[in-house]
Each structure stands twice: as structure tokens, then as C-alpha cells.
Structure 1
Amino acid sequence: MNIPFVYLILIAISLLNLSLGLIVLFNNRKNQVNIVFFAMTVLLALWAFTILMNWVVVEGVYVDFWSNATFWGPSFLSGFLLYFSLIFPRNHKKRGAKTLSIILFPALILFILALFNQINNKTYNPWTIERGFGIHIFNIYFSICAIFCFINLYRSIRRAVNIEKTQIKFVFFGFSMALLIGVFFNLLLPLVFDYTKLTYIGPSAAGTMFIVFTAYAITRHHLFNVKVIATEILTSAILLTLLTRVLFSNTLQDLFFNIVIFLAVLIFGLLLIRSVIKEIGYREEIKKAYDVEKLAHQELERLDEVKDQFLMATQHHLRTPITSMIGYTDMLLDGFYGDVSPKTKETLLKLMKSSKNLNKVVNELLDLSQFQLGKSAMVLKPGVEIMPILKSIIAEVKLEAKEKKLYLRMEKPEEEIPEIKADASKLEVALTNLIDNAVKYTAKGGVKIKVERPDSKIRIIIKDTGMGMAKEDIEKLFSKTFERGEEAKKMFGSGKGIGLYLSYNIIKSHNGKLWAESDGPGKGSSFIVELPV
């Protein structure tokens, strides 16, 4: 079957444009830009088809029909081009169906005029056409759409940045070239010189140039991905081969068979490209989620740093008035300002105790901030004895144990405990927290303290008969501040939740170890401290 070369070009261009339109549509079917672009490719294919039919049908009642039908595609295509220039590339939601309807209303009028043969009429020869009054409406509408499309794209280029600017430049270049070619071959030659033999160049060369550049601009961010490039090239190569078989089919049966194969491969290729793009989209989403998480983590670190700085500033400002309170209360108790009545002395002793407790909290917070900032507040000195420190702590905590009817005793070491290198005041804070916690969280029974000397270490075991702990609680016992277990909150509601964390870091700064052991909730706990000799 011999098919004229021009017919083959129009068929090939129609299939190519539809293929590009489907690729872009499947890229993102919900995006308005992609939908409008697909509509333009359909209209361009319709334009090519009507030109083909206008050449094929040279006699009979349908001559005028197909001659006027050649204006369907370019009429609606002009409107869609103008609308596309308004929404590309940002998919403006303000430009909805109402705007599109207003723009396409003249195209609808031209379509009706074409149906009644009012654009081209009395056409008895495909190369000799008599124009109707509708052609003037078409020329005005086409010119207005082209001018405003050009202006919109130019403004968008000036406003856009980065990838958007590049995308619009591609569309602008494709539109400019298509406009020049289309005006020359489809308006200037037919209307001025009455020469229509080259009208096929409009939908083929000009239209395809715009479609290709626009398709590249829309999917540009995907074209830099190796997988998509490989998939698109492979699919395009197969489709081009099959299209060649379609165009050069020898019989009608071969033509039908080749078209079916081409369409099947086209659908499969589009689905393949779509799946690859989806996979890349998922990866991009994962990367975006990772970036968001990273930013959130950085913000948390920044807030944590602000918190530490706030704590340090607050503690330094609190220390001065608390020290003054303790000093003036001590002077009052010593009778520096005169004799003090027993009732007043009792109140002053309570004030002194509260002030010292508050000063202890402030010191703990200051030490805590130092540890969280990665600074060590330890001054290790040799010749520090453990036993006097433990006895002092027991004497301080014994009153609370007595009030709760608990025993608090320390076993006599089986061998002499040597001196160690330590910061005596900080070590006392750490051990006080451990022994004080043991008493606070024990309802009955008591607390036993044992000191051993395994190898070149000193081991202090603080064993209670208190509430005990689950294994999962032990694992995170020393890792968090200002947090306590639910059972601990029920038993002792006013705890600060920083004692264990602080003790752990103090012991660690002494090159020692601190860990906890328990057989489970309600079975008591043991806190073990190891310090190097």
C-alpha cells in the first residue's frame, strides 16, 4: 500500500505528540499543567488529522466539512496555549475552570461557525479555498491569544528563579519558534498568497517543536535521573521502530496489525515509565522526610543548648541571694544581732535547712549543665578517704530513715579501704543521691551499705528492700534528666529526676562505673559504684 509522504508525516507527528502527551500526563495525572498539556497534544493531533482528511477528501458533500474542520484544532489550541501560559509552571489554583471557560468561549464560537462552513466555503479544490467571514474572527482570536501568551511567558521568565526560570525559557523558546513557523505556513502563505500546499508544516514542524520543548520543561527534573533517562530512551527507541513499521506497512492487514502492536507497546511503555517515576518519587519523599527529621533534630539540639545556657545563667543568679540567705540566717542563729527566742530559733533553723536544700538543688543544676555541655566540673585530688564520706552521709540521712522506721547501716569492710584520687565534695554529692534515693523509695525494710575492694578498685554497694525495677527501666535509668518512673512518682512526688543522671556523670568523671541491679518490681534494688584506686 503506497501512502504519500506528507500523509505519513502527519500520522507520525500525531502519534508522537499523543505519546509525549500521555507520558507527561502519566507523570502526574492530578497536576493541572500536565492535564492542559495533554489536551494541547490531543488538539495538535486533531489538527493534523483534519488537515490529512481535507487532502484525502477532494470531492463530495464532505469537502466543505473537512476544510472547515481544519480550524477546530488551532482554535481550541490557541485558547489552551493562553491558559497554559497563565498556570505554568506553578499550577496556580486561582486559574480554574471559570478562567478556562472564558478563554475558550471564542473557540467554541469558531467551532460552531466551522460546523456551518462559515470559515472556509465553496471549496471544490483542496488547493483553492474561498474564505468566509469566520476566518476574520479566527485571525483576531489567534492573534490575541498568541500576543498574551507571549507576554505571560516573558513576565514569568522575569519573575521566576532557578529551575522554574529554565523551564519557562524552554516553553518560551518552543512557543516562539512554533509561532513563527505556524504564522508563516498556516496564515501568511494561505491568506496572503493563497498557497495551501504547505499547511501541514504548522501541526507537524511548529506544533511538534512547541510540544517537545514544553514536555522537556515539564519533566525536566526527571530527565536528570539515570533510570528515567534509560527507560524513556528505551521506550522511545522501541516506539520509533514500531512506528516505522506502521508507516511502511505493505498491506492493510499489516497496517492494522502494526498499529495494534504499536499501541500495546505504547501503553506498556507509559506504565513502565510511570512506575520508574513513582519509584523515584518515593525515594525523593524518603529523602525529604530525612531532611525534615534532620532539621528537626538540629532544632532540638539548638533548643537543648538554649536550655543549658538558661540553666547556667539562672543558677549563677540564684547562688548569690541563696548564699546571702544562709549567711544572714547563720548570723542570726549565732546571736550577732542580739538574743533569739526559742520559737524564732526554731523558725530560723527551718529556714537554714530550706536554704541549704535550695543551694544543693542549684549546685546540682549547675553540675548538670556542665555535664550536658560536655565540660567536667571535677577537681580530682589524691588522699580522699571513702569511709568518712559514707559515715557523714549516713548521719545526714539517718533521721529520714528513722522517721520511716527503716534500718540504715553500713557493714564493716573485711579489709582496709585505701585512699583514692577524687573530688571529695562532688563524690559526696553522688553517693548522697544514691543513698538518699534508696531511703526515699523504700517503704519497709531498710538500706544496707557495703564497701569491698576487688583487685585495684573500690566497690560500694547500696542495697535496699524498696520498690525494685523492671529490666527495661534499668536500661534507661541514667540516660535522661527530669524524668522518673510512674511508681517512683507515686511513692515520692517531689523528686527532681536529676539525681541518678548527675551521680552517673560524677562517677564517670572519676573514671569509675555506676550501674543498678534488681530482680524486678517490688524486689528491691542494688546500686553499685566502682572507683579506681
Structure 2
Amino acid sequence: MYPAIFANLDLLVVGVASAGIAILGSVVYFNNKKSATSKAFLVFSLVTIVWGAFNYINYQTPSPQIVLWALRFHIFFAVWHAFSFYTLFHVFPEEEANFPKRYRYFVLPLVVITAILTLTPLIMVRLLNLAPAGEVSTAELGPGMALFGLVSGGLVLRGLYLFIRKFLKSQGNQRKQFRSVLTGTLISFALILTFNLVLPAGFDNVRFIPLGPLFIFPFVIFTFFAVSRYHLLNVKIVTTELFTFILTVVSLIEVITSKDLVIVIFRLSIFVLVLSFSILLIRSVISEVRAREELSKLSEQLADANDQLKKLDEAKSEFVSIASHQLRTPLTVIKGYISMITEGSFGKIPKQQQDPIEKIYASANRLIELVENLLSVSRIESGRMKFTFAPTNLAELAKSVVEEIRPVAENKKLAFTFKEPKEKVPELNLDGEKLRQVMMNLADNAVKYTPKGSVTVAVEVLQGQEGTHVTVPSVVFSVTDTGAGVGEAEQKALFQKFTRGEGGKLNTRGTGLGLYVGRMMVEAHHGSIWVTSPGVNKGSTIAFSVPLPTATDKAVLALKGMVG
């Protein structure tokens, strides 16, 4: 009974070690598929598993023919095992492989030839003695065995030489990686020498020879940590690795404890499926973790870029503010002198000079308007816009605006009217100068972009209704024209910076800042501004609302009236 238990224990140990090697090799590869080191480590892991499987089979099979071929394939994969070991140490820890010509034209062909010879009688002629399960069978060795030993041993020694040379040149974190691999190598070599050489040769104990994958396992573990560079030690990944490893071990135990051949085949299939599922699950978790890490890095980069943009925007606003202040003074002086010239303060102007001077005056006004808008934008964006609130009647403000704009409208032969409110408009606590600027801009735009027809300015009190532009009791100022109109797509963006409707694009004098400044000033009064239009060339209505005062606001207004 003891040998059977021991045989099952052998299978369990080999199976667990092989599953662990497969999982670790896959984890490293899926973490960085493009890395030459990751590829070499995966190949080494897979070759180790196959080599270990044939090593186990030749000690557990009663058929002489199977044992002979198992021994040959064991030696066959031993050649590739040594070659993958050499290749891993050759590329470690680089991302890209740089093989010399002798590797391609000498080492690789020599390995292929030696591997092929291991499957022929030149290496192993025939089986001399079939030993009981768990013991070593004896085979007649051919003349090619010396070549096998020379090539395999040479590859391992050459790999160790390359590794030690790199280790001595390494520094910092890279040296820690080499130290990790060196530790695993020493442990594995110590186990192999002890259980595959000392015990069989000195004590005639061959029971541990089938456990080859177990002896390689320490090297795989330490190399895994070195290759991954500690990036795979994420809690989620480690948890997944432990979970899948436990599932694989449980599935393997089920196989070992099965007695019926059909059940063994069925549970062995389950074991293979579980192992494949484990590798795919780990691959998925690694992809998810890496995606989150990349997303986190992108978020940090976006935050840094956003901070830089804010600094640039602040610098731009500061520059605009300084430049506008410097421009406003000379422009005001120019406007003043031109105004004095047109009034005749410096003598009568010849008729042929009147039209050019009027054009200069109009251009100076437009420049001053542009500078004022730029200054307003700069103050708004930097939070330096100052408001002077005082009891003000919007209807009276609107009348003054209408009277100021009327000459321009009449000059274009437009019907320009003011629609009186049906009920008395109460005084509101607001900055009259700021809102008058908004009214002037809206009325001036209506006249400017209406070639013929009418422009109507109105002020009214609305109680507000849900689902409309006015949802609370408010005073509403509106300008309705029969001019260029506004398309549905433009209506949503009309109050953004440097945005102009179709009429504005035809009239190149606009800057695209007036409505944006108006929106910011209205919103500072807790109001809203909007535009409605049936379509292009069908006229439009642009309006803004200011909420009626609450009980608290009325008390403040009354107190100011008493103080005044």
C-alpha cells in the first residue's frame, strides 16, 4: 500500500509544481507580451512542464516500449530545457532580444541536431532492465550521449556565465532582480544535486528523481518576481493567483483519488479545463488592473494638463486686461479729438473731409467697444468684475436705451418702437449700468442685423411658469426684430465666447463677445438670457429676465430708501 500512496504523492507533487509553473509563466507573459524576457520565461516554463511529465512517466509505466520512448523524450526535452534556460539568461532582463550571429547560425542548429539525435538509438539504444514503478529502469547508452551531455551542460554553464557577468555589472533595482534570480537558481541547483545525484549515487535512493518540476519550482518563483519587477504584486492579482492555484490543486487531488478509469479520464479533463480557465482568468485580471493603472495615469496627466491650461488662461486674461487698459486711454483720446473736430472746435471742416472723419469716429467707437468687451471678459473670468447694486427700474433703463438707439434705426428706415409694460414695473436691486450695457448691445444688434422691417423693445412683468424660460416671477426685457434670424443649432451656442450667428458672419464688425458678456452680467443678477427664432431670415426675439425681489430683498430696498 505504501508504494501506491507514494506514487500518488509523487503525482500530486509533480502536478502541483507543474500547475504553479504554468500559472506563473502565463502571468509574466500576459503582463508584457512584447517583452523578450517574458516570452523566454514562458517558453522555459512550458518546456519544464513537458520535461517533468516525461520524467515522471518513465518511472511509472510498466511497458518497456513506452518507458524507452519516455526516456528518449525526457532527454529530448532536456536539451530544449537547457536551451530555454540559456536563452532566458541571455535576454534577461531586457525588453528586446539581441542575439549574436553565433546564436542563430551555430547554437540553434546544434541544439536542433542534438534534440533530433536523442530520439534515435545513437543516444539511447535499448532498454536493458525494466524497473518496478517508482524505480529507475536501465538503458543501453549510444555514442551520441556524450554529445547530449556536452551540449546540455554547455548551454547551462554558458547561461550561468552570462547571468553572473550581467549580475556583476548591474546596479540599483536591476541588481535586486538579478539577486532574486540567483537565489532561485542556487536553491534549484541544490535540490537537483541533492535528490538527483547525491541520493541516487551515494545512497541508492531514486524515489525523488521523478520530482524534477518540484526542484525547478524555486527557480521559477524567484525568476517570476524578478521578471515582473514587483509590478504584479497587486492585491487583486495575487488573490486571483491563489484562488486559481487552489482550484487547480483540488482538481488534481480529485484525479489522484479516482479509482475507476472513466472517472480518472473525466476528472483529468476537468483538471485541464480548470488550469486553462485559471490562466485565462489571471490574464483578464491583469488586463483589468493594467487598464485601471493606465486610466489613473491618464487622469493624473489630464489633471496636470488642466492645471497648466488654467495657468495659461489666467496669464492670457491678465495679458488681455493689461493690453486693453493700455489701448483704452489712447482710443478715448482719439475719440475725444475727433468729436471736437466734428463739432467745429478747431474750425469748420471742409465737406470732402466730413465723411472720412465720421468713418474714423465710427471705427474708434467700435475699437473702444471691443476693448470694453475684452476688459469685461477678463474681469469676469478672473472674478474681478465689480457690481454696484442699487434700486433701479428696468423700464426706465429700457426707455433711455430706446431713445439712444432710435436715430440709428430711423436712419435705416426701420420701425423702432418701445412697448410699454401693462403693469407697473417694480424697482429691483441691481447694477443699472451693467444691465444698460446688455440692453444697448441687444438693441444695437437687432438694428444692425435687420436690413428692413421693424425692431420692438419691450419690458414686462411675468409671474413665471414651469417649462418656460421664466420659471419664477421676473421682469423681462426683450428685443424682437424681423432681421436675419437664428438657426436652431446656433441658438444653443449663441451666448458663448466668440460665437456669432449668420447675421454676424455677414456683418464683420462684430466680435462675438457682446452676448457672452451679457449672459455673464445677467447671470450675476440671478437671471437668464435666451433667444427664440422661427429660423434663418425669419427674425428673432432675444430676451433676459431678472427675478422679482423676495421679501428679504424688499426689506433691504426699504431700508436703503429710509437711509437715502
* Aligned equivalent of 1:173, options 158, 172, 183: 183
Q: Give the match's secondary structure for 2:417.
A: strand
Aligned to 1:349: 358
Counterpart in 2 of 1:410?
A: 418
Q: Report whether the alignment pairs 1:376 with 2:394.
A: no
Partner of 1:48: 52
Aligned mates of 2:423, 2:63 — CA distance in 1:
123
- Alignment partner, residue 469 of structure 2: none
Which residue is equivalent to 2:439? 431
- Tell me the equivalent position of 2:477: 460
Write out aligned runs for 1:126-275 (5 A).
132=146, 134-152=148-166, 158=172, 160=174, 170-182=180-192, 197=206, 200=209, 203-215=212-224, 221=231, 224-226=234-236, 228-250=237-259, 255-275=264-284
1:484 to 500, 506, 512: 500
Letter aligned with residue 238 of structure 1: L
Q: Distance in 2 between matches of 1:399 and 1:97?
A: 90
Judge conservation of contact 1:415–1:453 (CA < 8 Å) in 2: yes
C-alpha deviation, 1:434, in angstroms: 1.0
Q: Which moved more, 1:117-126 or 1:142-151?
A: 117-126
Q: Residue 258 and residue 379 in structure 1: after superposition, are their counterparts in 2 closer, same or farther (change >3 A)?
A: closer
* Equivalent in the alignment of 1:21: 22
- 1:139 counterpart letter in structure 2: G
Report Cα offsets for 1:153-189 as digits up to 9, x if no partner: 67666355xxxx8776654532343244446666788
Q: Residue in 1 aligned with 2:330? A: 321
Q: Tell me the residue number matched to 1:5.
A: 6
Q: Hey, what's the Cα distance between the residues in 1 that align with 2:108 and 2:499? A: 66
Q: Is the CA contact (8 Å cut-off) linking 2:414 and 2:452 kept in structure 1?
A: yes
Aligned-residue offset at 1:43: 1.7
How many residue pairs get aligned? The number is: 522
User: Within 1, Cα distance between the matches of 2:246 and 2:475?
Assistant: 79
Tell me if structure 1 keeps the 8 A contact 2:188–2:216: yes
Q: Is the 8 A contact 2:111 2:151 kept in 1?
A: no
- On the 8 A contact 1:379/1:423 being kept in 2, the answer is yes
Cα 1:7/1:512, change in 2 over 3 Å: closer
Q: Distance in 2 between matches of 1:383 and 1:52?
A: 98
Alpha-carbon distance, 1:438 to partner: 1.8
Task: Give CA deviations for 1:317-352 in whole Å, capped at 9, x if unaligned.
Answer: 322432343345456557777775443454333223
Q: Please point out which of 440, 450, 456 is paired with 2:458.
A: 450
Range with greater deviation from structure 2 (265-274 or 214-223): 214-223
Greater displacement, 408-417 / 497-506: 408-417
Comparing 414-423 and 298-307, the one that deviates more: 414-423
Query: Which residue number in structure 1 is paired with residue 512 of structure 2?
Result: 497
- Once the two structures are superposed, the pairs formed by residues 33-182 of structure 1 within 5 Å of their partners are 33-52=37-56, 55=59, 70-85=74-89, 87=91, 91-92=95-96, 94-95=97-98, 101=104, 104-112=108-116, 114-115=118-119, 132=146, 134-152=148-166, 158=172, 160=174, 170-182=180-192
- Distance across 2 between alignment mates of 1:238 and 1:245: 11
Question: Is the 1:393–1:428 contact (alpha carbons within 8 Å) kept by the matching residues of 2?
Answer: yes
Give, in whole Å, the separation in 2 of the partners of 1:7 and 1:457: 89
- Shift of the 309–89 alpha-carbon distance from structure 1 to 2, 3 Å rule, reads farther
Aligned to 2:405, the other structure's residue is in SS state helix
Specify the code of the residue in structure 2 equivalent to 1:17. S
TM-score by length of 1: 0.77
Name the stretch that deviates more: 53-62 or 464-473. Answer: 53-62
TM-fit CA distance, 1:481: 0.7
1: CA distance, partners of 2:50 / 2:270: 22
Instruction: Find the aligned partners of 2:275 and 2:21 in 1 and give their Cα distance.
Output: 10
Secondary structure at the aligned position of 1:450 is classed as strand
RMSD: 4.6
Give the Å deviation of 1:465: 2.9
Give the 3 Å change call, closer, same or farther, for CA 78–426 of structure 1 in structure 2: same
Unaligned runs of 5+ in 2: 130-135, 464-472, 550-556, 558-564
1:398 aligns with 406
| Residues 303 and 97 of structure 1: CA distance in aligned 2, closer, same or farther (over 3 Å) | farther
Q: Percent identity?
A: 25
Cα gap change, 1:495/1:91 in structure 2, threshold over 3 Å: closer, same or farther? same
Instruction: Please give the alpha-carbon distance, in whole angstroms, between the structure 2 residues aligned to 1:413 and 1:120.
Output: 113
Q: 1:80 aligns to what SS in structure 2?
A: helix
| Distance in 2 between residues matched to 1:330 and 1:407, nearest whole Å | 29
Whether the aligned pair in 2 keeps the contact of 1:385 and 1:418 (CA below 8 Å) is yes
Deviates more, 1:413-422 or 1:429-438: 413-422
3-state SS, counterpart of residue 459 of structure 2 = strand
Cα distance change on mapping 1:7 and 1:407 into 2, 3 Å: same
For structure 1, which runs of at least 5 residues remain unmatched after alignment?
none
SS in 2 for 1:132: helix
- Give the CA deviation at 1:394: 3.2
Matched residue of 1:530: which SS? strand
Distance in 2 (alpha carbons) for counterparts of 1:328 and 1:184: 107
* Letter in structure 1 aligned against 2:413: K
Matched, 1:506 2:513: no
Please give the secondary structure, in 2, of the residue aligned with 1:448: strand
TM-score under structure 2 normalisation? 0.74
The CA distance in 2 between the partners of 1:137 and 1:271, in whole Å, is 36
Q: For structure 1, which segment, 346-355 or 282-291, has the greater mean C-alpha deviation from structure 2 after superposition?
A: 282-291
Secondary structure at the counterpart of residue 463 of structure 1: strand
Deviation string, structure 1 residues 373-429 (Cα, Å, up to 9, x no partner):
22323234x466656654553344334423543211223456666766554543332
Question: Could you tell me how far apart the structure 1 residues matched to 2:113 and 2:210 are?
Answer: 26
Is the Cα contact below 8 Å between 1:465 and 1:525 reproduced in 2? Answer: no
Q: Are residues 390 and 267 of structure 1, via their aligned partners in 2, closer, same or farther at CA, if it must alter by over 3 Å?
A: closer
Q: Could you report, residue by residue, the CA deviation over 1:281-323 in whole angstroms, capped at 9, with x for unpaired residues? A: 6655665665565555555444433432332233233224323
Alpha carbons of structure 1 residues 292 and 419: separation in structure 2 relative to 1, 3 Å: same
The one-letter amino acid paired with 1:75 is V
Contact 1:85–1:152 under 8 Å retained in 2: no
Distance 1:168 1:445, change over 3 A: farther
